[in-house]
Structure 1
């Protein structure tokens, strides 16, 4: 994964008595590799973010992150939010055909002459009976 357009946060910081809340939107563009055909593609990021921080070490609420000192570095929270929302299966398109299992050709660009008949390995011996 590579950053094409830097991640940008637009929002506000809300100060409460016991914590600081960071609310806004993260935008940017990433270059990712397709899980099927292995080509690079552009992925637009637009994520709503709502994070809470405190420097009170006695805080028991798990939804509020503990921060040491008086400075708040939001970079880690932004990256965590982006990574947690990325798709598990990264596809260049929903219709991506992927690579041929035998010759490795990109089936989105070319067709191959391989026999890609899917055989259930548990039934492979039975196929011999029909030959």
Structure 2
């Protein structure tokens, strides 16, 4: 990639692209998500992302955002997995979790939300190459 940029200076690259090439996309996606969430602490996303990040089982999954949902995937590149729970801040310290079967849970804290996410992970919810 560096050779292309050296040859054609108008090309740009992003840290996530370089991380994909190194096989380190998931940690970079977490870092970028945590930075973005820290810029909007009033939305509840920051608390949710930080609570999720404390759990190793979630840190190995690739985090993302789809509309207002915090998503998780076994893959760092699309297509994302649709069989993993997703969560959304609702405001006023409340959160919603959608499980793969469509069930919804409303919870009062980010920590409670993460517990429901962890309980909703299917067997074998780990990254696949």
TM-score range, shorter chain: under 0.3
Higher strand content, 1 or 2: 1
Higher helix content, 1 or 2: 2
TM-score normalized by the length of structure 2 = 0.27
TM-score normalized by the length of structure 1 = 0.27
